[in-house]
Amino acid sequence: MKLAVVGTGYVGLVTGTCFAETGNQVTCVDIDERKVGKLNNGIVPIYEPGLETLFHRNVEEGRLTFTTDLEEGIKGAEVIFLALPTPPGEDGSADLKYILKVASDLGPILSQYAVIVDKSTVPVGTAEKVHAHIADNAKVDFDVVSNPEFLREGVAVEDFMKPDRVVIGTKSDRAKAVMNRLYAPLVRQGNPVIFMDERSAEMTKYAANAFLATKITFMNEIANLCERAGANVDDIRRGIGTDSRIGKRFLFAGIGYGGSCFPKDVQALAKTAKDFDYDFKVLKSVMEVNYEQKTKLMPLILNHFGGDLKGKTIAVWGLAFKPYTDDIREAPALDNIKALIDAGAKVTVYDPEAMDNVREQIGNAVTYAHTQYAALDDADALVIITEWPLFRTPDFDKMNLLLKNKVIFDGRNVYELDQMIEQNYTYYSVGREPIM
């Protein structure tokens, strides 16, 4: 099939590349000339495991091309994906200006029936708006379909190629047939393509992210209670996660969720509820708890050092909002670094992927170490913010020589308590008793 993908951000690039990999002819369109220039020169602007290999293969074999020209890009396309940014406005609602602008531009240049697909996470009712904007100037038949993505950063290619399910919102049989054909290679193992109306598909995306954010937040509150009640949140996780109704995944307590999706989507769903005059109380609590959770280690750190961090150097391991990404959007690391500096500390940081992004945002406010061990040199304590596998099995002998004090504040429960007792560390983690 011939496809166009408008917007070469994270979602657009993964979608375009993966659909080229299943044999389609894909043209990606973006207004950013520099970005398209880079892509045409074989440079993948994001870090996503597995993407480069697929990207290069499909570019070389001529199935994946890039242009800044919308009309040229959509020529002959049976399906046109809109993968455009929806930044949160001041009131938390998603700003649709980019999507609706492209929709208006598409109307007059569509020359044959096409399925226009909303891939971006957009509020309920957006497909209808997109339809109206295209219809204003369209000369041919078209359908607008909502097809939300459920890709996790870091495993996006795998999530795309082996989806748990594909959700498609449309009432048009013609569009259903096109989408079924497109997704057939990805759902061969029987994973369902679930058809529903546009509004339900749009809501499904928010419900999925808000539910997962709630699941994490619930565990974070259980962890906070465990600390007070002398229980161990890891045991609780194992104890409840084995109940198939609850499930093992997304039960890891820590210092809060971050990223470009959960915080934005929980906020946007709360705004949608408000627009429909519904008081969605759970979502309000989720936002409040997560905000507080991000810096929950700070009182422990301050208390350990007698209320003040002047003259102290704190090493921070992990800056990305989660492992396997360089993304620092809404990352707890930023809140913690700020709080540490405000308390008077010198901060030295290490992350395998995200240091350039942090440098761009906060410059020389912190020292950037070349390795995880270099970050510990002369540090008074180590704070772990992101659970990169690299941090799980460190060389403790090396650490002991570098750290001034054997103190770890672990926001992701990277180590077992027994291990810390054996290594003779003072160890604070989340939802477990401190080891003194």
Binding-site sequence positions for NAD(+): 30, 35, 86, 121, 153, 264, 329
Q: Is 252 in the site for ligand UGA (CB under 6 A)?
A: yes
CB of 25 to ligand UGA, least distance (A): 26
CB of 332 to ligand UGA, least distance (A): 8
CB of 370 to ligand UGA, least distance (A): 25
Q: Among residues 150 and 428, whose Cβ is nearest to ligand UGA?
A: 150
Q: Is 261 in the site for ligand UGA (CB under 6 A)?
A: yes
Q: Is 431 in the site for ligand UGA (CB under 6 A)?
A: no
CB of 209 to ligand UGA, least distance (A): 5
User: Would the CA dihedral through 282, 286, 287, 289 be positive or negative?
Assistant: positive
Stretch that binds ligand UGA, among 53-61, 104-112, 259-267, 301-309 (CB under 6 A): 259-267
Number of residues lying near ligand UGA (CB under 6 A)? 20
- Residue 362 has φ and ψ, to the nearest 5°, of -120, 5
Q: Among residues 15 and 313, whose Cβ is nearest to ligand UGA?
A: 15
Q: Is 257 in the site for ligand UGA (CB under 6 A)?
A: yes
Check: CB of residue 105 under 8 Å from CB of residue 74.
no
Stretch that binds ligand UGA, among 146-154, 340-348, 400-408, 422-430 (CB under 6 A): 146-154
End-to-end CA distance of the chain: 63
Check: CB of residue 58 under 8 Å from CB of residue 21.
yes
Beta bridge partners of 3: 26, 79
Q: Which residues are annotated as a binding site for substrate?
A: 150-153, 205, 250-254, 258, 322
Report the C-alpha dihedral over residues 230, 287, 261, 38, rounded to 10 degrees. Answer: -100
Binding track over 98-137 against ligand UGA, x by CB under 6 A: -----------------------x----------------
Check: CB of residue 370 under 8 Å from CB of residue 304.
no
Q: Is 151 in the site for ligand UGA (CB under 6 A)?
A: yes
User: Catalytic annotation on 261?
Assistant: yes
Binding to ligand UGA (CB under 6 A) within 174-233 occurs at: 209, 212, 216
How big is the CA angle at 67 (ends 61 and 73), to the nearest 5 degrees? 90
Q: Report strand pairing: 79-82 vs 2-6.
A: parallel
Q: Which residues are annotated as a binding site?
A: 30, 35, 86, 121, 150-153, 205, 250-254, 258, 264, 322, 329
Instruction: Give residue 272's identity as a one-letter amino acid code.
Output: T
Q: Is 259 in the site for ligand UGA (CB under 6 A)?
A: yes
Q: Is 375 exposed, middle or buried (0-12, 13-18, 19+ CB in 10 A)?
A: buried
CB of 329 to ligand UGA, least distance (A): 9
Q: Is 388 in the site for ligand UGA (CB under 6 A)?
A: no
CA distances (Å), 231 to each of 6, 236, 345, in order?
50, 8, 32
Task: Could you list the beta-strand ranges (E) of 172-212.
Answer: 193-196
Out of 262, 391, 409, 425, name the contact with ligand UGA by CB under 6 A.
262
Give the Cα separation of 123 and 205 in Å (integer): 9
Q: Is 263 in the site for ligand UGA (CB under 6 A)?
A: no
Beta bridge partners of 65: 27
Give the Cα separation of 52 and 414 in Å (integer): 30
Q: Is 48 in the site for ligand UGA (CB under 6 A)?
A: no
Give the Cα separation of 404 and 150 in Å (integer): 44
Q: Among residues 216 and 376, whose Cβ is nearest to ligand UGA?
A: 216
CB of 60 to ligand UGA, least distance (A): 28
Give the Cα separation of 28 and 338 in Å (integer): 39
Give the Cα separation of 327 and 140 in Å (integer): 41
Residues identified as active-site: 261
- Which residues of the chain form contacts with ligand UGA (CB under 6 A)? 121, 149-153, 209, 212, 216, 250-252, 254, 257-259, 261-262, 321-322
